Structure 1
Amino acid sequence: MEKGCYVKDISPATEVRGLFVVSQASQGQSRNGPYWRLTLADASGSLEAKIWHPLSAEFSEIPAGSLVWAEGRAALYRDQIQLTLEQLRLLTPEESAAADQAELMPSSPYPLDAMLEELLALIKEEFRYAPWRKLALSVFNTQDLRAAFRVCPAAKGVHHAYVGGLLEHTLSVFKLCRRIADHYPELDRQTLLAGALFHDFGKIREFSGGIANDYTDEGRLLGHLELAIEMLAPHLAKSGLEEPLQRHLKHLILSHHGELQFGAVRVPHTPEALALHYADNLDAKMAQCRSLFEQLGDAGQGWTPWQATLGRPLHRAARTPETAAPASRKKAVREECLSLLKV
């Protein structure tokens, strides 16, 4: 079956025909009768769609994760593109099995294998204290954990919510924490980096992944902070890591959301925990900015739609024109590269 149009190509006042995944579905009641509110998704993004009465009455259920052929018209609603569906057909199991999932599942823009290789190389470079190194390699040499970590999304919808999102986010936070530790040498570098490596590791079990990515039962009941502690327990037990360092790592994981109202079990009580929280928060916010600016296309400056998780729209401002770096800066960069090659 042909894919049809992609979400990224849908604009207001256009006719839409295409194959999509139903990532969310719920029923509502309007003055004209019951209706369906859907979130339709493919590899390029997602958007909201409505099925109004009387067409809505033809569907007793629309399971999340279903593949559907949808036809309708796009319009702007509260600065967001929304579809009004005129036809909807759920694909048969045979049609669903034959569909190209690469067209339907968003994934990281960076190669997953290359990111994983980079992260593993950094682990071997940074963890020079044997128990930390043993812990990290024990986890990542466990085949099912490494395979799940490679493809797991980092969220359901806020940031890095796509295949490989957890790997991309973890690698970015790890690299940010390296720079923070370079700038603040008083920090316990290896403990901070262990926190960066494992702060979201529990998301492997918090999210189902796949086309209909959603929270698992244990994800809803326990959350990824508690799940990460549980998953690391057997590896910590055989790592030889001293109890105070194990306790500090657990604190980093349990406090990295920063505030109790944002899901932290404890607020950060060590400099390393503060550094991890701000690195994690910065990377998540920058990912949201990239996602919102992608919706603006190549139009240059402009305002994004309202973003509820940020509590504001964002402005893509004019950029400073590119200029050649001064000779002193070029020399500094060259010397830094040479020093890295000598390590």
Structure 2
Amino acid sequence: MLFPETVSKLSDLKPGTTADVFALLSSKKQDVTKAGKPFYKCTFRDADREAAVMVWSDSGHFADCEANWTKGAFYKLRGTYEENNYGPQLNLDKIRPVQPADVDAGFNEADFFETSRFDPENMFRALTSLCEDKIEDGPLRAVVLKVLNDRAEAFKKWPAASRNHHAFAGGLLEHTLSVVRTTVWLCEKYEGLYPNLSPPLCADAAIAGATLHDVGKLEELDGSPAGAEYTSTGRLLGHIVIGRDWLRDAAAWQADQPGGPVDRELLLRTEHVVISHHGIREYGSPAEPHTPEALIVQHADELDAKYSMLADSLSQASGGGPFTPFSKQFGKPIFRGLSETA
């Protein structure tokens, strides 16, 4: 099946545009309609946009999708791009796997993997330096650095999520560093505002917990640059439990090291930050925040995730006017500004 030579970028398409694009199949999920008929929801993407392709059982593409379409593979598609309350979609006309000759038409695998804007080596050094400088308790500092250094290479490339926020290579490290920096600032602010708080805010537990709050995602997600999916362990346990277990394992190791074990209450407060950082049980936290440091990390984490989603909504939205199209993440459009009025 031959396509015309002109190929557009998926992320450049405007609603109503019919075009040929190269795209990565980042997700393929089977489901059934209310009538019991099977269908597939597939997600195709380049580095800057993803769009859903619905493949219904009566579609001419259903058998091909079921048997041949492979997550992580590249395809050349022809379709019409649309946006609605369910997000970007591509109404598919034709599809075939990318071929070697497509390089001459501009295909390059590197164009399809979104990565952090920041160098991962620099981010990891910044994160470990913050822990070394700001965690005053020696045994707790050693525990946190062990968890990080034992998983350094994965941490530098893992996404923070399968979708929504920081869902790109290096996203977990970018998000964690941002949360830790915010936590350090908030601890210094509130220690100054409430110098007589009893018991005092435990900055060591806050910073250690912020550093490790999402570390369990290294096992919860498969880390694929094609679009991370949940592992079996991730689905059955979740990153909060995994991360808390790694913290405990490192603390058990530290008990036999120079400096001795981590103080019992300090470790308990740090564990509490990790398990409560989603804020409420409905969002997956085994416990809700019961300490000042847990409250700080909960909001530092939530703000960084939501600000990332808001920035994506503003940067990726098409069309003109003072508001973006409806944002699924926020349940409303985002205000661009009066100057954006068409």
Q: TM-score, length-normalised on structure 1?
A: 0.82
Q: Does residue 193 of structure 1 match 2:197?
A: no
Note the residue ranges of structure 1 that are not aligned, 5 or more in a row.
320-343
* 1:1-343 alignment, distance < 5 Å: 4-27=7-30, 36-51=40-55, 53-61=59-67, 62-78=69-85, 80-91=87-98, 100-142=108-150, 145-185=151-191, 186-210=200-224, 211-239=226-254, 240-296=261-317, 302-317=322-337
Structure 1 distance, partners of 2:177, 2:296, is 16
The answer to whether the Cα contact below 8 Å between 2:147 and 2:246 also exists between their aligned partners in 1 is no
Instruction: Note the alpha carbon deviations across 1:295-334, whole angstroms, 9 max, x for none.
Output: 23696x6322323332322223469xxxxxxxxxxxxxxx
The answer to whether the Cα contact below 8 Å between 1:115 and 1:171 also exists between their aligned partners in 2 is yes
Partner-residue secondary structure (3-state), 1:268: coil
Q: TM-score, length-normalised on structure 2?
A: 0.82
The answer to whether the Cα contact below 8 Å between 2:314 and 2:336 also exists between their aligned partners in 1 is yes
What letter matches 1:175 in structure 2? R
Change (3 A) 1:6 1:111: farther
What letter matches 2:247 in structure 1? L
Name which of structure 1's ranges 105-114 and 167-176 shifts more when overlaid on structure 2.
105-114
The Cα of 1:4 is off from its aligned counterpart by 4.5
What letter matches 2:126 in structure 1? E
Partner-residue secondary structure (3-state), 2:28: strand
Structure 2 distance, partners of 1:182, 1:153, is 29
Instruction: Note the alpha carbon deviations across 1:144-171, whole angstroms, 9 max, x for none.
Output: x001111111111111111111101100
The Cα of 1:125 is off from its aligned counterpart by 1.4
Residues matched between the structures, number: 312
In angstroms, what is the RMSD of aligned CA positions?
2.9
The answer to whether the Cα contact below 8 Å between 2:14 and 2:319 also exists between their aligned partners in 1 is no
What letter matches 2:334 in structure 1? L
Change (3 A) 1:13 1:179: same
> Could you list the runs of 4 or more consecutive aligned residues of structure 1 that deviate by over 4 angstroms after TM superposition?
27-31, 33-36
Higher-RCO chain (CA-CA 8 Å, sequence separation at least 6): 2
The answer to whether the Cα contact below 8 Å between 1:34 and 1:56 also exists between their aligned partners in 2 is no
The Cα of 1:284 is off from its aligned counterpart by 0.8
The Cα of 1:21 is off from its aligned counterpart by 1.7
Structure 1 distance, partners of 2:20, 2:55, is 15
The Cα of 1:35 is off from its aligned counterpart by 5.5
The Cα of 1:92 is off from its aligned counterpart by 7.7
Instruction: Note the alpha carbon deviations across 1:44-65, whole angstroms, 9 max, x for none.
Output: 2211123462233443333333
Instruction: Note the alpha carbon deviations across 1:150-205, whole angstroms, 9 max, x for none.
Output: 11111111111111111011001001011111111142111110011000000000
